[in-house]
Amino acid sequence: DTAVSQTPKYLVTQMGNDKSIKCEQNLGHDTMYWYKQDSKKFLKIMFSYNNKELIINETVPNRFSPKSPDKAHLNLHINSLELGDSAVYFCASSLDRAPYNEQFFGPGTRLTVL
Amino acid sequence: AQTVTQSQPEMSVQEAETVTLSCTYDTSENNYYLFWYKQPPSRQMILVIRQEAYKQQNATENRFSVNFQKAAKSFSLKISDSQLGDTAMYFCAFMKPGGSNYKLTFGKGTLLTVNP
């Protein structure tokens, strides 16, 4: 059973389109995250939710909107896609907000904007 | 803001040998957490090892160990008896607890290649 799953794994789309990436975890964790990994492999936090409440919102364009319908799901919607949005997006989860907890990552979604 | 520096973009090691990946960080905090994550070609991020700053004893997980030097703000990863499956990007990460700062700050990574 996959602990943290993301769909789709690959997404190719045109500039200006709107797209969503879905994330689900079956670990019973309270906290979920979205990270962006750029073409140079640099990984940066975008958002974090704890029990469906937004707790981290980094400097991210407001074209990006996370949504957490329940504790097990954290989706990422991106409006008006731009070339610079091309990256691998990782979802992760941890037991709770405690900093020592391991974050379990999904397999990533490679987004390519043409 | 905390920063994490990995000064070795790429490294290589022969199978069965030992390799050390370096990581330094900048913080004014006294209590924090440090992590090494591994990203193999499959792209999956996997936790390798973690260290709490208030613990003086270096963390160890099987063939992986760290050399944590708090005063020098250094957190290196030693891989003993390297295996082909250790080939991956290795990311050092920092987390400062408290407030809304429950976020991992990553270094830029070191690409480790284990050669047969």
* A90: contact with B, CB 8 A cutoff: yes
d(CA B40, nearest CA chain A) in Å = 11
**Tens digits of residue pLDDT in B50-64:** 999 998 899 999 999
The C-alpha angle A32, A39, A45, rounded to 5 degrees, equals 25
* A58: contact with B, CB 8 A cutoff: yes
Who's near A65: CB < 8 A, 6+ residues apart? A76, A77, A78, A79
Closest partner CB to A99 (pick from B46, B95, B106): B95
**Tens digits of residue pLDDT in A63-95:** 999 999 999 999 999 999 999 999 999 999 999
CA distance linking residue A16 with residue A37, whole number of Å: 21
Mark B45-70 as b/e (b = at least 16 C-beta within 10 Å): bebbbbbbbeeeeebeeeebbbebee
Query: Taking 80 as the threshold, does the pLDDT of residue B1 lie above it?
Result: no
Q: How confident is the model at residue A60 (pLDDT cuts 50, 70, 90)?
A: confident
Q: In B, which residues are within 8 Å of A103 by CB distance? A: 45, 47, 104
Query: Taking 80 as the threshold, does the pLDDT of residue B88 lie above it?
Result: yes
Given this model, what pLDDT does residue A1 score? 64
* Burial (CB count within 10 angstroms: exposed 0-12, middle 13-18, buried 19+), residue A53: exposed
